Amino acid sequence: MSSGTQVGIVGAGPAGLMLGHLLHLAGIDSVIVENRSREYVIDRVRAGVLEQGTVDLLCAMGVAGGLNRRGLRHEGVYINFDGCRHRVDMAELTSGKAITVYGQNEVVKDLIDARVETGRPLYFDAQEVSVDALDATRPVIRFSHAGTSHELSCDFVAGCDGFHGVCRPSIPAGVLQIYERLYPFGWLGILAEAAPSCDELVYTYHDRGFALFSMRSTDVTRLYLQVPPDEPIANWSDDAIWDEMLRRMTTSDGWSPNVGRILQKSVTAMRSFVAAPMRHARLFLAGDAAHIVPPTGAKGLNLAAADVVVLASALKEFYETGSDAMLDGYSSICLRRVWKAQRFSWWMTTLLHRLPDETPFDHQRHLADLDYLASSRAAMTSLAEQYVGLPWEISLESLHL
């Protein structure tokens, strides 16, 4: 079956769904093609920290009903080392900005509901998805769905299909420069049926490795532990996980996470990755398809949001004025933010993890870094302004949402 649209979007993660909705609000047609099922996309457990700008965006897009009801606004964050929690007062240091804890899967669920309400096409369970003719005036997305083969011709293709998608590998060899760093550790993450024992996140540096206390709701705690990168989850009984969590996180004033039934557990490897430029001909990459950050600092979803705001603005300018100036600037505008987020995520990761090859000198310098952060208003301000999110490249007003 042949059909056409203005923007063909591959992937219904946060990037693809947000882009689709921004285009809808601008009166631009799109078709979203996703190779997983709706249930799989909604149930996938991911990070859950929204920058102030991402919250403002979702509100301006009119998709923040659930976020306003169930999102948890945090005005501070703790850095825990040497048995003490040190609070960074983000709101005070950034003139009132904060982060909001709201699971990425909740964001995705809300965006799917909004998409369905618009009546615009969203295909789940698409098979054999491919993109072709990227250099032509009408590139195509091919896929099959419920036994029918589709050929969708588009003005532009948005590659929002994550790190393992098909769009980035469809760009001819030699076009992209790849920048990559793997980390010699991973995160073992759990969801626990336990009320959070602290109102704010606690990032712990411990001699035995990093640990993170986070939450999903007033009844569910989310916790992470630094482990070797390829650690089999089978090595960790629930009791062993709790022993290690408590050992690393408990502070000398007696604070520790509440223990409860473990609802879900998994290990993820950590990497930093950038593919540049984020555009080839009529294909635009956005979100994890173009870049991955290690999860310390929770920038992944927020970077995806920042990319699609630039892309939606550029497409709106193109359709309204015929100018492709902003489309031409898309990659360089996005990459400035991407690299600052890469730098921040790398910095938080190396500051808070136990690095395997540290010499005694490195180790003492590392402890001094933490001590400096906890005792300097300048250092805490730098952390706070990046954690709540640097200003957007494009003002939300310019989108006229």
Question: Footprint of ligand APR on this chain (CB under 6 A)?
Answer: 10-16, 33-36, 41, 46-47, 104, 126, 129, 160-162, 164-166, 287-289, 300-301, 304
Could you tell me the CA-to-CA distances from 241 to 210, 245, 260 in Å, in that order?
13, 6, 11
* Residue 331 site contact among ligand APR, ligand PHB, none (CB < 5 to 8 Å, cut-off depends on kind): none
Q: Which of 281, 277, 297 minimizes the C-alpha distance to 289?
A: 277
Could you tell me the CA-to-CA distances from 125 to 7, 41, 72, 230 in Å, in that order?
20, 10, 32, 29
* Residue 79 site contact among ligand PHB, ligand APR, none (CB < 5 to 8 Å, cut-off depends on kind): none
Instruction: Tell me how far apart the alpha carbons of residues 327 and 340 are, in angstroms, rounded to a whole number.
Output: 21
From the candidates 14, 21, 24, 74, give the one annotated as an active-site residue. 74
DSSP per position, 336-367: HHHHHHHHHHHHHHHHHSPPTT--HHHHHHHH
Residue of 14, 48, 209, 294 that binds ligand PHB (CB under 6 A): 48
* Residue 162 site contact among ligand PHB, ligand APR, none (CB < 5 to 8 Å, cut-off depends on kind): ligand APR
Q: Minimum distance from CB of 48 to ligand PHB (Å)?
A: 4
CA atoms within a 13 Å half-sphere pointing along the CA-CB vector of 194: 21
* Residue 49 site contact among ligand APR, ligand PHB, none (CB < 5 to 8 Å, cut-off depends on kind): ligand PHB
Q: Which of 241, 234, 236 minimizes the C-alpha distance to 259?
A: 241
The yes-or-no answer on residue 40 being catalytic is no
Backbone torsions φ then ψ of 260, nearest 5 degrees: -160, 180
* Residue 297 site contact among ligand PHB, ligand APR, none (CB < 5 to 8 Å, cut-off depends on kind): ligand PHB
- DSSP three-state, residue 320: helix
49 contacts ligand PHB (rule: CB under 6 A): yes
The yes-or-no answer on residue 316 being catalytic is no
Could you tell me the CA-to-CA distances from 318 to 94, 133, 171, 278, 312 in Å, in that order?
35, 20, 23, 18, 10
What is the per-residue binding string for ligand PHB in 144-183, x denoting contact by CB under 6 A? ----------------------------------------
- 48 or 257: whose CB is closer to ligand PHB? 48
What is the per-residue binding string for ligand PHB in 182-201, x denoting contact by CB under 6 A? -------------------x
Instruction: Tell me how far apart the alpha carbons of residues 342 and 297 are, in angstroms, rounded to a whole number.
Output: 10
Residues 28-47 touching ligand PHB, rule: CB under 6 A, are 47
List of residues 6+ apart from 293 with CB closer than 8 A: 272, 299, 300, 303, 341, 342, 345
From the candidates 294, 295, 316, 366, give the one annotated as an active-site residue. 295
Tokens representing residue 88 in the block: 């960074």
The residue nearest ligand PHB at its CB is 214
298 contacts ligand PHB (rule: CB under 6 A): yes
Residue of 30, 204, 226, 296 that binds ligand PHB (CB under 6 A): 296
The yes-or-no answer on residue 387 being catalytic is yes
Residues 199-238 touching ligand PHB, rule: CB under 6 A, are 201, 212, 214, 222
Residue of 139, 294, 297, 389 that binds ligand PHB (CB under 6 A): 297
Q: Minimum distance from CB of 16 to ligand PHB (Å)?
A: 21
CB 230 within 8 A of CB 186: yes
Helices (H), 121-190: none
- DSSP three-state, residue 289: helix
The yes-or-no answer on residue 109 being catalytic is no
CB 225 within 8 A of CB 209: yes
Q: Minimum distance from CB of 307 to ligand APR (Å)?
A: 8
* Residue 33 site contact among ligand APR, ligand PHB, none (CB < 5 to 8 Å, cut-off depends on kind): ligand APR
Tokens representing residue 180 in the block: 């990559």
CB atoms within 10 A of CB 138: 12
295 contacts ligand PHB (rule: CB under 6 A): yes
The yes-or-no answer on residue 295 being catalytic is yes
List of residues 6+ apart from 3 with CB closer than 8 A: 31, 150, 151, 152, 153
* Residue 351 site contact among ligand APR, ligand PHB, none (CB < 5 to 8 Å, cut-off depends on kind): none
- 11 or 196: whose CB is closer to ligand APR? 11
Q: Which residues are the active-site residues?
A: 74, 203, 295, 299, 387
Residues that bind ligand PHB (CB under 6 A): 47-49, 201, 212, 214, 222, 295-298
